Amino acid sequence: MSETTERHGGDLVAEVLERAGIRHVFTLCGGHISPILVGAKRLGMKVVDVRDEAAAVFAADAVARMTGIPGVAAVTAGPGVTNALTAIKNAQLAQSPVIVFGGATATLLKGRGALQDIDQISLVRSAVKWFASIKTLPALAPAVEKAVRISQSGVPGPVFLEVPVDLLYPESIVRKWYIEESGVKKSKSLGSRALGLYLEGHLYRQFRMPRVPVPDVDLPELAVPFGDDAERALAETAELLRRAERPALVVGNQTMAGVRDPAPLARAIGDLGIPVWLGGSARGLLGRHHPTQFRHARGNALKEADVVVVAGFPFDFRLKYGLGIGSKAKLVSANLSRRELRKNRRPDVTAHVHAAEFLQRLSRRVGSPGAGRWDAWLDVVRKREAARDAEIAAQAKPDGELVDPLHLFLRLEEKMADDAILVVDGGDFVATAAYTLRPRAPLSWLDPGVFGTLGVGGGFAVGAGTLHPKRELWLLYGDGSSAYSLAEIDTCVRHGLAPIAVIGTDASWAQIARDQVDLLGDDVGTTLVRTDYHVVGDGYGGKGLLLKDPSKVDETLDEAIAIARSGKPVVINVHIARTDFRKGSISI
C-alpha cells in the first residue's frame, strides 16, 4: 500500500482536531473526504467507519455527550450529507457539540454538474449552529478552529464545514487533476494556453493566496459569563429556598453540556437536599440510588411545590409547556439560552448561565437549608415513588406464553453491571424501560433527546463503545427502530466493540398502534412480523440469541453478558407480550 508523505488539507484538519483534544473520527468512507481520514490516522486518532452516514453523526453525538468534547464526523458529498441530515438535526435539538465535515466537489467544478454536487449549505443551514464553505487552503485550519470553538460555546450545537475535494488532497495531485488531465500541457492552441493560465491562477489562489478570514459569527450567546444579573438571580433563588416548604428541582440535558467531571455537580445537587428529577443526559448523575433522586410522580410534585428550580430544561411538552408547574409556585429557570429561559412560561427568577455552574454556586451559598424542615415533603415524595415502583412490580408477569417487558426489565435492572452504559432507541419498549431501569453513573444514559429520533441506537452504541470498550453496554431497541441501524453490529465486530442489543419484538409499531387503533379503529401501517433479528445478528458476525420463554430470561441475560465479556456483540431477540402498561401515552 503506497502512502504519500506530502502534507495536505486532511493533515491540517487533523492537526487542529488533535490540539482540541479530539481522539475519534466517525465516518463512512468517500473519495471526497479520504484525506481527512488518513490525516487523522497519522496523528493517532481512531477512525471508526460505520455503515450509514447518520450513524457516523450519531456516534459523534454520543462522544460529545459523554466527554464534553466536540464529536467529529466526516461524510462524503451529496447523499453522504443528506443521509446525515437527520442526525445533525437531532444533535442540534439535543444541544450536542458536533462537528460535521462534508465533502464537496472541486472548487472549479462547483455548479457544473459534477458527481454528487448539490447545494449542501441550503440543506444544512437550519440544522446547524454555524456553517462555512471553505474556498482556499489557507482558510481551512482557521475555519476548523472556529468550528471547534463555536460548537461548544454558549448553547452547544452542531456545525458544518463544507470542504471541497481539491483543498484536501496534496497539491501535486490536485495540480495533476487540473493541469495534466485537462490536456492544456499538450495543446498549443491559444484557447488552451488561456485555460492553462486560468488554471494556474486558480491553483495559486487555492494554495498560495493569503488567507481571507472566515466571516465573523453573529451569535450573541457564544460566551455566557456569570455576571451581575446571574449573581442577583443566585441570591434571589437562595432566599426562596431558605423559605421553601416544598421545593423541587428538575435537571435537564443542557446541564451536562461540556461537563467533563460530573462529580462536583452531583455533590452540589446532593448537598442541596431538594427532591430532584433528572432528564436526558442528566439521568444517572446521582447514581443508581440516591435519597433525593426520584423518577415517578414528577407531575404531582411540580403541582404541589412552592419553589421549583428548572436547570437546563426548556418548558416544552415534557413540562406541559410550563403548565405542569403549579401557578402559585415560585419558579426559577437557569439556561444557556435566553429563548428557553422564558419560552411558554415566565419564571419569577431567570439566570442566563450554565445551569451546572448555577447549581454548584447555589449549593455553596445555601447548603441544605431544609435542616429537617423538608422531611415531611420528602416523605410524601418517597411514598409516591415506592408506591409506583410497587405498582410496576405487581404488573410484571414472570409467566406466560411470551416475555412480559416489565418482567424483563426488572430482571435486567438486577443484572446490569455497576459501570453499565444504556443506549435506548425505540418507542413503547424503550419508554417502558425508562420506568424500570436505573442508570448507574453520570453520562451513562444515551437517548435521542427532544427530537424523538428513531435510529440513534447503532451510532450511539458505536460512539459509547469506542470511548469505553471495557464497560458493559446495553442497546435497547424496539423491533421497529432496530431496522434503522442493526447493521452497525458489523461495525462493532470490525472495531472490537461488544454491545448487547436487546430487541423487544412484538410485531408492531406499538407506541403508535395503541393510540391509532383506539382513536381511529385501524392498525394500518403499524404492523410488523416477528422477524429473526437474532439471525441477522449472527449474519453480521455477532451472536444472536432468541428469547421466547419467560422462564429463561435470567439464563439468557447471563449468557449475553458472558458473550459480550468475551468481546463479541450480542443480539437478543425477545418476543414480548402485548401489555397495557403504557395505554393512553399518545405519541404526538
pLDDT of 222 higher than 60:
no
pLDDT of residue 204: 58
Which pTM was predicted?
Answer: 0.93
Least reliable range by pLDDT among 125-134, 196-205, 475-484:
196-205
pLDDT of 228 higher than 50:
yes
Cα-based torsion angle of the residue sequence 448, 449, 452, 455 in order, rounded to the nearest 10 degrees: -10
Residue 195: band (very low, low, confident or very high) from pLDDT cuts 50, 70, 90: low
**Mean pLDDT in residue range 429-446:** 94
Residue 1: band (very low, low, confident or very high) from pLDDT cuts 50, 70, 90: very low
For residues 497 and 514, what is the distance between their CA atoms, to the nearest angstrom? 36
For residues 33 and 227, what is the distance between their CA atoms, to the nearest angstrom? 43
- Which residues share a beta bridge with 249? 276, 309
Least reliable range by pLDDT among 224-228, 240-244, 314-318:
224-228
Question: Is the domain of 112 the same as that of 260?
Answer: no
pLDDT of 490 higher than 50:
yes
Question: Is the domain of 105 the same as that of 248?
Answer: no
pLDDT of residue 2: 47
Residue 522, class by beta-carbon neighbours within 10 Å (0-12 exposed, 13-18 middle, 19+ buried)?
exposed
Q: Is residue 586 part of a domain?
A: no
Question: Is the domain of 140 the same as that of 247?
Answer: no
User: Which of 328, 349, 383 is the C-terminal boundary of a domain?
Assistant: 383
Q: Is residue 482 part of a domain?
A: yes
Question: Is the domain of 235 the same as that of 368?
Answer: yes
For residues 100 and 1, what is the distance between their CA atoms, to the nearest angstrom? 28
Buried b (16+ CB within 10 A) or exposed e, 137-152: bbbbbbbbebbbbbbb
pLDDT of residue 168: 85
Q: Is residue 214 part of a domain?
A: no
Question: Is the domain of 238 the same as that of 150?
Answer: no
Q: Is residue 438 part of a domain?
A: yes
CATH of the domain at 300: 3.40.50.1220
Residue pLDDT, tens place only, 173-190? 777 766 665 555 555 665
Residue pLDDT, tens place only, 259-287? 989 999 999 999 999 999 999 999 999 99
Question: Is the domain of 356 the same as that of 417?
Answer: no
For residues 374 and 409, what is the distance between their CA atoms, to the nearest angstrom? 33
pLDDT of residue 585: 66
Question: Is the domain of 275 the same as that of 408?
Answer: no
The helix/strand/coil state of 131 is strand
For residues 463 and 87, what is the distance between their CA atoms, to the nearest angstrom? 13
CATH of the domain at 165: 3.40.50.970
Question: Is the domain of 344 the same as that of 482?
Answer: no
Residue pLDDT, tens place only, 82-107? 999 999 999 999 999 999 999 988 77
User: Which of 328, 362, 383 is the C-terminal boundary of a domain?
Assistant: 383
- Which residues share a beta bridge with 163? 103
**Cβ contacts of 67 within 8 Å, gap of 6 or more:** 260, 467
Question: Is the domain of 180 the same as that of 201?
Answer: yes
pLDDT of 408 higher than 70:
yes
**Mean pLDDT in residue range 182-203:** 58
For residues 447 and 422, what is the distance between their CA atoms, to the nearest angstrom? 9
Q: Which residue has the higher pLDDT, 25 or 198?
A: 25
pLDDT of residue 310: 97
Q: Is residue 390 part of a domain?
A: no
For residues 438 and 290, what is the distance between their CA atoms, to the nearest angstrom? 11
pLDDT of residue 181: 53
Domain that holds residue 269: 228-383
User: Which of 356, 383, 410 is the C-terminal boundary of a domain?
Assistant: 383
Look at the block and give the residue holding cell 415560585: 330
For residues 575 and 555, what is the distance between their CA atoms, to the nearest angstrom? 15
Q: Which residue has the higher pLDDT, 205 or 3?
A: 205
Q: Is residue 122 part of a domain?
A: yes
Q: Is residue 217 part of a domain?
A: no
Residue pLDDT, tens place only, 303-336? 999 999 999 999 999 999 999 999 999 999 999 9
Q: Which residue has the higher pLDDT, 367 or 500?
A: 500
Give the total number of structural domains in the chain: 3
Residue pLDDT, tens place only, 336-381? 999 999 999 999 999 999 999 999 999 999 876 655 789 999 999 9
The grid coordinates listed for 297 are 410522580
Question: Is the domain of 566 the same as that of 448?
Answer: yes
Residue 586: band (very low, low, confident or very high) from pLDDT cuts 50, 70, 90: low
pLDDT of residue 217: 55
Query: Residue 317 to residues 96, 282, 344: CA-CA distances in angstroms?
Result: 20, 18, 10
pLDDT of residue 198: 52
Opening angle at CA 310, ends 304 and 314, nearest 5: 115
For residues 283 and 356, what is the distance between their CA atoms, to the nearest angstrom? 14
Question: Is the domain of 79 the same as that of 111?
Answer: yes
Residue pLDDT, tens place only, 502-542? 999 999 999 899 888 989 999 999 999 999 999 999 999 99
Calculate the average pLDDT of the chain.
Answer: 90
**Cβ contacts of 187 within 8 Å, gap of 6 or more:** 193
Q: Is residue 129 part of a domain?
A: yes
Question: Is the domain of 196 the same as that of 276?
Answer: no
